[in-house]
A and B are shown apart, each in its own frame.
Chain A
Amino acid sequence: MPTPDFSNVQGGSASTAPSETGNNGGRTYVVAKGDSLSAIAKREYGNAKEWRRIYDANKDVIKDPDLIYPGQTLRLP
């Protein structure tokens, strides 16, 4: 039986305590099933067109703005 490949596993974390690392005090959002950047922007900022703000703040983890995955942790600027 071949060894499973876990190289594409995505992980993240959040805490109710102040953090010394991570998002420089900003908020984070954990992507759920069915989410899109525009849906998150609509929910968080009241305007779906604000999706680019989220994309720009997360270019290190989002390669394609049309492709985000459940479990990804995004910074909300």
Chain B
Amino acid sequence: MRTRLMPHLTLFVAAALAVAACGPKRASGSTSMKVTEIDLGRSLKPDLKIDDNATTFHPTDVIYASVETKGTGPATLATRWTYQDNQVVNETSRTISPNGDDPVRTEFHISKPDGWPEGTYHLVVMINGTTAGTKDFEVKK
């Protein structure tokens, strides 16, 4: 009986190993994206790059962050903007599915109709919930 089961058992183990081998490949494909550049500014070009790099802003500015990523998706790109002692200003996320090796630009922007309070701000860019880059900026009158 044992000798009859052995070929089936071997086949089952081989199939399980084959399935397991497929798993990590797919997983590494979905997490291969990385942030290669983060720029801040007051306006964007049509290709979503920053038109006028800045780290100091005025209270009435729309603040843009242009994030360059490389790698294939899908992946969720998220921003968390905070003020001074970690007070959350805004959180935005976007799931993107780049289908080639070319760099991809994703812009995130924030605005405040009654003006930004003066002080220092911190931006964290995350990919699938993991910090992939940070940037600091200041708002002055």
Interface residues of A (CB under 8 A from B): 3-4, 6, 8-22, 30, 32-33, 69-73
Picked from B44, B83, B91, B106, the residue with its CB within 8 Å of the CB of A17 is: B106
B108 A11 Cβ-Cβ under 8 A = yes
Chain A residues whose C-beta falls within 8 Å of the C-beta of B44 in the assembled complex: 30
Question: Closest residue to A18 on the B side, CB-wise?
Answer: B97
A19 B94 Cβ-Cβ under 8 A = yes
Chain A residues whose C-beta falls within 8 Å of the C-beta of B113 in the assembled complex: 8, 10, 69
Interface residues of B (CB under 8 A from A): 44, 47-48, 62, 69, 73-74, 77, 79, 81, 83, 87-92, 94-99, 104-114, 117
Chain A residues whose C-beta falls within 8 Å of the C-beta of B77 in the assembled complex: 15
Question: Residue among A4, A21, A32, A33 with the most chain B CB within 10 A?
Answer: A4
A6 B89 Cβ-Cβ under 8 A = yes
Question: Closest residue to B73 on the A side, CB-wise?
Answer: A17
Question: How many contacts A-B (CB < 8 Å)?
Answer: 95
A70 B62 Cβ-Cβ under 8 A = yes
When chains A and B are docked, how far (Å) is the Cα of A18 from the Cα of B106? 10
A9 B112 Cβ-Cβ under 8 A = yes
Question: Closest residue to B117 on the A side, CB-wise?
Answer: A4
B87 A16 Cβ-Cβ under 8 A = no
Chain A residues whose C-beta falls within 8 Å of the C-beta of B47 in the assembled complex: 16
When chains A and B are docked, how far (Å) is the Cα of A13 from the Cα of B105? 11
Chain B residues whose C-beta falls within 8 Å of the C-beta of A73 in the assembled complex: 109
Picked from A17, A30, A33, the residue with its CB within 8 Å of the CB of B104 is: A17
When chains A and B are docked, how far (Å) is the Cα of A33 from the Cα of B97? 31
B112 A11 Cβ-Cβ under 8 A = no
Question: Closest residue to B104 on the A side, CB-wise?
Answer: A17
Chain A residues whose C-beta falls within 8 Å of the C-beta of B117 in the assembled complex: 4
What is the minimal beta-carbon distance from B124 to any residue of chain A, in angstroms?
Answer: 14
Question: Residue among A3, A6, A69 with the most chain B CB within 10 A?
Answer: A6
When chains A and B are docked, how far (Å) is the Cα of A73 from the Cα of B8? 59
Question: Residue among B44, B73, B112 with the most chain A CB within 10 A?
Answer: B112
Chain B residues whose C-beta falls within 8 Å of the C-beta of A8 in the assembled complex: 112-114
